Amino acid sequence: MAPSLDPAKEVSTTIGTTLGRARPALLRRLASLALIDRRHVTVALATADGRVVGIDPAARLGMVRSVARTVCDAFSENIAEGDIILTNDPFSGGTHIQDLTLLRPLFVAEQLIGWTVVQTPLPDLGGMALGGYYPFALEIWAEGIRVTPAKLYRKGVLQRDALTMLTLNSRLPHLVEKDVQNMVDILELANTAVTALAVRQTPAVYTQALDRIIADTAAQAQAALSALPRGEWQGESGPIHCCLEEADLHVTVRLTVSGQSVELDFSGSSPAAKGFVNTTAATTQAAAAIPFLALRPSLPANEGVFQHLHISLPDDTFLHAKLPMSVGWSPYQPSQAVVQAVAAALGQTYRTLPPVKHLTAPVTAPPLPFTVTGCGRPGCPFSPPQPPTPNP
Amino acid sequence: MIDRITALVIKDSLEAISEEMSKTVERTAVHPLFNEVHDYSTGVFFYDGSDVRLVARATAIPVHIFASILSVEALMESFQDDLHEGDIVMLNDPYYGGTHHADWTVMKPVFFDGKPVLFPSVRAHMADFGGPVAGGYNPEAKDIWQEALRIPPIKLFEKGVLRQDVLDWILANSRIPNVLRGDLAAMFGACNLAEQRVHALFAKYGGDVVNESIEYTLDYAEKRFRAEVAKWPDGEYRGSATLDHDSLGNYDVEVKTTVTIKGSDLSVDLSGSSPETPGFVNSPFGNTASWVYTALCSVLPGGLIPPCVRCCRKPPQSPPACFEP
């Protein structure tokens, strides 16, 4: 008699296989790939209550988990099979305007068993600058339009007017429409694979398997954290330039290891900035988790990673952006600074700094397809301003 | 053949409905743009299966009420066979019959015999709707995306049920969402009230009589307008005005107009006006046409407005008007 397969292992394998197929498939199809940061193209699976259980790439775990929880909470009483939710809003668990997330609930026998999630940058969504990066944005509304969680599909029917409102606010509407369709197609691909498994296993067994996967990861994370020496360590980042501030910003973090959990306290970091270097709580937490993901490379990237990692973000720092602050640059230099500061603190527990370059690679700004004009002062990473052309 | 008395009673009923909509909005909206500035208009539009026409309006801002014809047309084009009882549609985009981002149009189709026939509508200047500059006037804007949120025809209510997620999405792009929510509620309420009144009119007279009365009223308006124009000497009349600058360093932006009178026909040609400018003074067709109608209103006898039908659209063979999108 053939040995029965552990349901959690079967689910874990299916998740890995599905994500392994879905993300490359999406990358091959994206019409705007040359104009976006392909590292931000993400596919994930979540439990019915929005906990991420698998994700590709792992570095985007923090970015996606917050959106998934926010959408689940917003639509818990109002979701049906065939619905697809879209959102880009930094203040609804997101990062910056450019990153659009689509979420589709998975149903088996009318029971909600989970979500598939796809997140892709859009090449443009209005605002003052083509591409959305505007260093002089004083508020989020100068960066582009906010799309709070809304239904793109209702019970399988496209809400064409909602899609039109999205594309109308882009300078590149044809690319946006095409890529939204591509994202919908990948959701369908993932949905088919996962629901087939859930039907075979039964929803109860499937959902229990998801809980076990997360719990196993939490246990592994806890074991990794337990190996750290107890104590408190400080870390600080390099300077962060803001075109609208006289002085550079810094990230300061205190790492406290107390047995089986760790706390990261970002008090003392620079206050909120006038320009677009503020980061939402979701983005800060995502960056803060990256060094811990590297602590044990075999650690699966899912909600379990965060269970014993406690992050304290004071309201008055630039790391906990509130409406209407601008946040356009947050996935890059500010996130890089968070990773640097946490890695610096973590490195002290081992008495040597862990390699930082490979950790900050995911949050290093790529070459931008459109010119981003900055202030021209020393340290400004953007193009210097051009002199005004005389009026003929 | 409808009798003239009934036609007049029904026409005045529609005018009264528009007036009641106006008072409703004035007394229930939140922002002083409504109850102090009165920067909104209400009216009722008629769709005969091919054209949209203005049939009644309360004391209105001319640019709102004439441009709203194009908004209703945009609604019909966007939703065609997907309109239902209880739908309420909204838009603000200048290229969907709007004027500028600030002016939002709320429209509700009222059905007779399963077809949308009358469209009570409220168009109002809203206080804030995102964009880099509070209030929406960005003198540095070089394209429309640098101004504010663009809303195409979108259903806020579908078969009587509010699409809360869509409303929240729109409110998220305002600096004063609670004020905007209150103002929109007033506009929705006015449209709902108008629907009730129109249904009462249909119930009292029957839909066929109401439709015939509207056709009679519009034909009568056209006859009176043509009779007035026929009194004016035939010929070509030219005028021009100059806008000092477009806020981006381009000066002396010209509007040139040729009005041609031939019998009872009148045409307005804006050829020769300045080309598009980089600054935010360009005018979409709805805005341009509205001010043409306004100028005509000012030279017509009191109470007579130009029939806003196809005869007032630019003919296909004319060169593109200036300030085109």
Residues β-bridged to residue B256: B240
Is the confidence at residue A4, as pLDDT, over 90? no
Say yes or no: B128 contacts chain A, CB-CB below 8 A.
Answer: no
Say yes or no: A128 contacts chain B, CB-CB below 8 A.
Answer: yes
Render the burial of A360-387: b for 16+ CB within 10 Å, e for the rest.
Answer: bebbebeeeeeebbbbeeeebebeeeee
- Give the ipTM of the model, two decimals please: 0.94
pLDDT of residue B325: 17
Residues of chain B predicted below pLDDT 70: 302-325
Q: Concatenate the DSSP letters of all residues of B236-303 into one string.
A: EEEEEEEEEE-SSS-EEEEEEEEEEEETTEEEEE-TTS----SSTT---HHHHHHHHHHHHHHHSPTT
B50 and B23 within one domain: yes
Residues β-bridged to residue B9: none
pLDDT (tens digit, 9 = 90+) per residue, A133-175? Answer: 999 999 999 999 999 999 999 999 999 999 999 999 999 999 9
B173 and B43 within one domain: yes
Give strand ranges (E) for chain B. Answer: 40-47, 52-57, 88-91, 103-107, 110-112, 115-125, 154-158, 161-162, 235-245, 251-262, 265-269
| Residue given tokens 């040359």 in the structure block | A34
Q: Is residue B225 included in any domain, yes or no?
A: no
Residues near A94 by beta carbon (within 8 Å), at least 6 away in sequence: A63, A66, A67, A87, A88, A101, A280, A282
Q: Is residue B271 included in any domain, yes or no?
A: yes
Last residue of a domain, one of B158, B186, B220: B220
pLDDT of residue A353: 55
Q: Which residue of A has its CA nearest to B152?
A: A165
Query: Which residues span the domain enclosing B261?
Result: 233-312
| Residue given tokens 């056209």 in the structure block | B222
Chain B residues near residue A324 by CB distance under 8 angstroms: 175
Phi then psi for residue B31, to 5 deg, are -80, 145
User: Residue A391 is nearest to which of B149, B154, B249, comparing CB atoms?
Assistant: B249
Is the confidence at residue A308, as pLDDT, over 80? yes
B165 and B22 within one domain: yes
Residue A373 DSSP code: B
Phi-psi region of A365 (alpha: psi -120 to 50; beta: other; left: phi over 0): beta
Do A60 and A290 meet the contact criterion of CB atoms below 8 Å apart? no
Do A146 and A160 meet the contact criterion of CB atoms below 8 Å apart? no
Give the sign of the dihedral formed by CA B171, CA B174, CA B178, CA B183.
Answer: negative
* Cα torsion through B201, B202, B208, B211, rounded to 10: 50
pLDDT band, residue A361 (cuts 50/70/90): confident
Mutation for testing the A interface, residue in B137, B173, B250, B252 having most A CBs under 10 Å: B173
Mean pLDDT of A22-33: 97
Q: Concatenate the DSSP letters of all residues of B240-259 into one string.
A: EEEEEE-SSS-EEEEEEEEE
Q: Is residue B319 included in any domain, yes or no?
A: no
Is the confidence at residue A285, as pLDDT, over 50? yes
Residue B320 DSSP code: P
Contact (CB<8Å) A146/B169: yes
Say yes or no: A373 contacts chain B, CB-CB below 8 A.
Answer: no
How near does any CA of chain A get to the CA of B244, in Å?
15
**What is the length of chain B?**
325
pLDDT of residue A295: 76
Give the sign of the dihedral formed by CA B255, CA B256, CA B262, CA B267.
Answer: negative
Mutation for testing the B interface, residue in A147, A161, A326 having most B CBs under 10 Å: A161
Q: Is residue B21 included in any domain, yes or no?
A: yes
B114 and B146 within one domain: yes
Give strand ranges (E) for A274-343. Answer: 309-312
Q: Concatenate the DSSP letters of all residues of B39-63 into one string.
A: -EEEEEEEE-SS-EEEEEE-S--HH
Say yes or no: A126 contacts chain B, CB-CB below 8 A.
Answer: yes
pLDDT (tens digit, 9 = 90+) per residue, A198-228? Answer: 999 999 999 999 999 999 999 999 988 888 8
Chain B residues near residue A132 by CB distance under 8 angstroms: none
The architecture (CATH level 2) of A7-208 comes to 2-Layer Sandwich (3.30)
pLDDT of residue A292: 86
Q: Output the six-digit token pair for A101.
A: 């997330």
pLDDT of residue A281: 94
Amino acid at A168: L
B162 and B81 within one domain: yes
Say yes or no: A232 contacts chain B, CB-CB below 8 A.
Answer: no
Q: Is residue B323 included in any domain, yes or no?
A: no
Say yes or no: A162 contacts chain B, CB-CB below 8 A.
Answer: yes
Mean pLDDT of A368-390: 87
Say yes or no: B249 contacts chain A, CB-CB below 8 A.
Answer: yes
pLDDT of residue A299: 86
Q: How far apart are CA B53 and CA B220, in angstroms?
A: 14
B276 and B141 within one domain: no
Q: How far apart are CA A14 and CA A106, in angstroms?
A: 15
B242 and B210 within one domain: no
Say yes or no: B43 contacts chain A, CB-CB below 8 A.
Answer: no
Q: Is residue B325 included in any domain, yes or no?
A: no
Mutation for testing the A interface, residue in B165, B168, B251 having most A CBs under 10 Å: B165
Q: Output the six-digit token pair for B233.
A: 């000497």
B128 and B95 within one domain: yes
B258 and B172 within one domain: no
Chain B residues near residue A138 by CB distance under 8 angstroms: 132
pLDDT (tens digit, 9 = 90+) per residue, A106-138? Answer: 999 999 999 999 999 999 999 999 999 999 999
Angle, helices B177-205/B4-28, rounded to nearest 10 degrees: 160
pLDDT band, residue A390 (cuts 50/70/90): low
User: Does B94 sit behind a cis peptide bond, omega within 30 degrees of 0 on the bond before it?
Assistant: no
User: Residue B173 is nearest to which of A124, A146, A150, comparing CB atoms?
Assistant: A146
User: Residue A150 is nearest to which of B143, B166, B173, comparing CB atoms?
Assistant: B166
Chain A residues near residue B79 by CB distance under 8 angstroms: 161
Q: How far apart are CA A389 and CA B9, in angstroms?
A: 62
Do B283 and B98 meet the contact criterion of CB atoms below 8 Å apart? no
Q: Which residue of A has its CA nearest to B249?
A: A391
Last residue of a domain, one of B220, B255, B290: B220
Amino acid at A374: G
Say yes or no: A157 contacts chain B, CB-CB below 8 A.
Answer: no
Say yes or no: A83 contacts chain B, CB-CB below 8 A.
Answer: no
Mean pLDDT of A301-305: 94
Contact (CB<8Å) B145/A127: yes
From the list B79, B4, B76, the residue with the least C-alpha distance to B45 is B76
Locate the domains of chain A by residue range.
7-208, 217-363
Interface size A-B, in CB pairs within 8 Å, comes to: 72
Q: How far apart are CA B100 and CA B139, in angstroms?
A: 13
Q: How far apart are CA B80 and CA A155, in angstroms?
A: 21
3-state helix/strand/coil string of A42-57: EEEEECCCCCEEEEEC
User: Residue A169 is nearest to which of B79, B132, B149, comparing CB atoms?
Assistant: B149
Number of domains forming the structure of chain B:
2
Q: How far apart are CA B207 and CA B204, in angstroms?
A: 9
Q: Is residue B58 included in any domain, yes or no?
A: yes
Mean pLDDT of A76-104: 96
Do B269 and B183 meet the contact criterion of CB atoms below 8 Å apart? no
pLDDT band, residue A389 (cuts 50/70/90): low
Q: How far apart are CA B311 and CA A67, in angstroms?
A: 52
User: Residue B166 is nearest to which of A139, A162, A391, comparing CB atoms?
Assistant: A162
Last residue of a domain, one of B220, B249, B269: B220
pLDDT of residue B311: 35
Mutation for testing the B interface, residue in A92, A139, A143, A165 having most B CBs under 10 Å: A165
Say yes or no: A348 contacts chain B, CB-CB below 8 A.
Answer: no
Q: How far apart are CA B53 and CA A242, in angstroms?
A: 54
pLDDT of residue B309: 43
Q: Is residue B139 included in any domain, yes or no?
A: yes
Q: How far apart are CA A23 and CA A11, in angstroms?
A: 18
More confidently predicted of A2 and A250:
A250
Q: How far apart are CA A49 and CA B77, in angstroms?
A: 40
